[in-house]
Chain A
Amino acid sequence: MCPQSRALADLTIAEAADALHRGELTSLELTEAVLQRLLETEPILSAYTCVLAEQALDAARQADRHGGFSGGLRGIPVSLKDLYDVAGVVTTAGSASRKNAVATTDATVVARLRQHGAVITGKTATHEFALGVTTPAARNAWDPARIPGGSSGGAGASVAAGSSLGAFGTDTGCSIRLPASLNGVVGLKPTYGMVGRGGIVPLSWSHDHAGPIARTVADCALLLAAVAGPDERDPASCGAPAPAPSPGRWQDATGLRIGVPVNFFFEGADPEIETAVREAIGTLVSLGAKAVEVTVPQMELTLPVVLMSSLVEGAAYHRHSLMDGGELLGAEVRMLLKAGALLFGTEYTDARRVRTMVKRAVRAVFDDNELDALITPTNPIAALPAGQELYGDPPQPVINHYARLCCPFNITGQPAMSVPCGFTTNGLPVGMQIIGRPFGEETMFHLGHAFQAATTWHTRRPHLPLIPRFVLPTP
């Protein structure tokens, strides 16, 4: 389809890059269209905490002058979760306690995006210090009365709405994959250590991952390729490169073995979500994949491990603030961090021993069954109404539901990706989680892209009422 026949803000990154390369589009036109969409949708979504409109337009003009649109990200509008440092801009981390925290240098990911000519549109809303799954400041692009998920909620809503073509978030227990799933877009948590976290405000060094959100698997592959690699500012950086984006080679799933869990991952799932994910598995099988039923042990232990690490490591990072009373922190995060400060070293060490058990168990499942990937729902329930804090019978904090199926792979460090695979009857997106072997991103891209080439879920766009008059939040 000729890109001019569709709203420019609805293009995928690959489509926009292709149009730029052919000279059918300028980065300035594209960036203006995305900023216009942002103006129209922000009164409803509040996906952004800070819009860098002038800098974005300057970067777009520079990209047009520089030319050389030979692929990659040159001239492509991309947003950043407000945990990433951008030199000269406040990194709020969603907290009033950081309202004066102006970054002096770019985060490693931001520097790489600039090197690739990407256009930074601004910073997106996060649950305070990434410690939560609802992102109260922002709303879901498919139903603004509902949560966008979190903690990268603004990133997911922004990509779904077209106020950025791609976004970067962070994921400690589900925080890229969940907002991607709840907003009907793709979210990738790469293998631990593949994307450097230098210049990103941490929650839990053991489990934090940085990664992209975009409308398609192929776009996530482009974004990952631009930012992966060594980061001397991140002790966990492993220096491994990302696979070269090769969607032409990812057309079917012939020969790939996918594991379908018979325990834990479908338990308690909304029947509509289970049906959508099982139908997606059927699609992968029709594309040549071999599905194998598997049991994945130790999964009930994973949420306590991730909560323990997040609270204890988060409390260490915020210790001085907590000892000063922590009164600038929001009530929820302050309470959780104080709890983290009071947990015991013995239990924290036990959590790290459980990590060993979980990694061994998951590895055995992959090796014994010769799996290329595991397929699960991303989340067991769709987006809840904004403000709802408990769910289920007996009621539990919503984080217990939303992080449950994602967090095992923050422990193992495996790559995991949410791909849209359907909608509930009330129009809310459903996500399928594809989990690969460590550094198995290419196999995940292969499965995900083949699925998207055979389905149309990712082509649907939310129908937001557009409100043209709005004052941008600026630095």
Chain B
Amino acid sequence: MTERSIDVTALAKQAGITLLDGEREPVTAVVSSIIAAFGSLELGDTPEDVTLDPRWR
């Protein structure tokens, strides 16, 4: 598996967003921590929850 690195400066440029002074480090930390939380998940064939319907049917 290719090791993943997050370059928020490049991503921000692609998104048309300017990172202000002091934002690069905390934005990197938030993006990296959330990606890490999902990175190792085994979701199998679990489908996306598209309905948001709370009823248990």
Enumerate chain A interface residues (CB-CB to B < 8 A).
191-193, 206, 236, 238, 301, 304, 307-308, 311, 322-323, 325-327, 334-336, 338-339, 341-344, 347, 349-357, 359, 363, 366-367, 412-414, 437-439
Q: Is the CB of A338 within 8 A of B52?
A: no
Check A352 against B56 for contact (C-beta < 8 Å). Answer: no
Query: When A and B form their complex, what is the total count of cross-chain residue pairs whose Cβ atoms lie within 8 Å?
Result: 105
Q: How far is the CA of A350 from the CA of B27 in the complex (A)?
A: 21
Residue ranges of B at the interface with A (Cβ–Cβ < 8 Å): 8, 11-12, 15-20, 23, 26-27, 30-31, 34-35, 37-38, 41, 43, 46-50, 52-56
Cα A305 to Cα B10 in complex, Å, equals 25
Residue from A304, A359, A414 within 8 A of B34 (CB atoms):
A304
Q: What's the minimum C-beta distance from A397 to chain B, rounded to whole angstroms?
A: 10
Cβ contacts under 8 Å, B15 to chain A: 323, 341-342
In the complex, the chain A residue whose C-beta lies closest to that of B45 is A353
Which residues of chain B are within 8 angstroms of A327 by Cβ–Cβ distance?
A: 20
In the complex, the 10 A-B pairs of residues with the closest C-beta atoms, listed nearest first: A413-B54, A304-B37, A339-B30, A355-B49, A342-B11, A192-B54, A352-B48, A438-B54, A356-B49, A353-B46
Q: Assess the B30–A311 pair: CB atoms within 8 A.
A: yes
Q: Is the interface of A mostly helix, strand, loop or mixed?
A: helix
**Closest CB of chain A to B27's CB: distance in Å?**
5
A323 close to B47 (CB less than 8 A): no
A341 CA / B34 CA spacing, docked (Å): 13
B24 to chain A, nearest CB (A): 10
Starting from the known contacts A343-B34, A356-B46, A366-B56, 6 additional A-B residue pairs (CB-CB under 8 Å) come to A325-B20, A326-B17, A336-B30, A341-B17, A349-B48, A351-B38
Which residue of chain A is the closest to B6 with respect to CB atoms? Answer: A342
B23 engages A335 (CB within 8 Å): yes
Query: Could you say which residues of chain A place their CB within 8 Å of the CB of B8?
Result: 339, 342
Q: 30 A-B Cβ contacts within 8 A?
A: A191-B54, A192-B52, A192-B54, A193-B52, A193-B54, A304-B34, A304-B38, A307-B34, A308-B38, A311-B34, A323-B16, A327-B20, A334-B23, A338-B12, A338-B17, A338-B27, A341-B17, A342-B11, A343-B31, A343-B35, A344-B35, A352-B49, A353-B46, A353-B47, A354-B46, A357-B43, A359-B49, A363-B56, A414-B54, A438-B56
- How close is B42's CB to chain A, nearest CB, in angstroms? 10
Closest to B54 in A: A413
Q: In the bound complex, how far is the Cα of B26 from the Cα of A336, in angstroms?
A: 8
Q: Once bound together, how far apart are the Cα atoms of A173 and B37, in whole Å?
A: 17
Determine how close the nearest CB of chain A comes to the CB of B2; give it in whole angstroms.
14
**How near does chain B come to A132, taking the closest CB pair, in angstroms?**
13
Q: Is A438 touching B50 in the complex (CB atoms < 8 A)? A: no
Chain B contacts of A192 at CB under 8 A?
A: 52, 54
B31 contacts A206, C-beta separation under 8 Å: no
* Nearest CB of B to A297, in Å: 14
- Complex CA distance for A193 and B46, rounded to whole angstroms: 24
A341: B residues at CB distance < 8 A: 12, 15, 17
- Residues of B within 8 Å of A350, CB to CB, are 38, 41, 43
Residues on A with beta carbons closer than 8 Å to the beta carbon of B11: 342
- The answer to whether B54 touches A347 (Cβ under 8 A) is no
Contact of A338 among B23, B34, B46, B47 (CB under 8 A): B23
Taking a contact as CB atoms under 8 Å apart, the answer to whether B26 and A353 are in contact is: no
**Contact for A412 among B27, B48, B54, CB less than 8 A:** B54
Chain A contacts of B47 at CB under 8 A? 353, 356
Q: Which residues of A contact B46 (CB under 8 A)?
A: 353-354, 356-357
Closest beta carbon of chain B to A245's beta carbon, Å: 22
Chain A residues whose CB sits within 8 angstroms of the CB of B38 once the complex forms: 304, 308, 347, 350-351, 354
Could you tell me the distance in whole angstroms from the C-beta of A199 to the nearest C-beta in chain B?
A: 20
Residue pair A206, B30 in contact (C-beta under 8 Å): no
In-complex Cβ contact of A335 among B30, B49, B55 (8 A)? B30
Residue of B11, B19, B37 ringed by the most chain A CB atoms within 10 A: B37
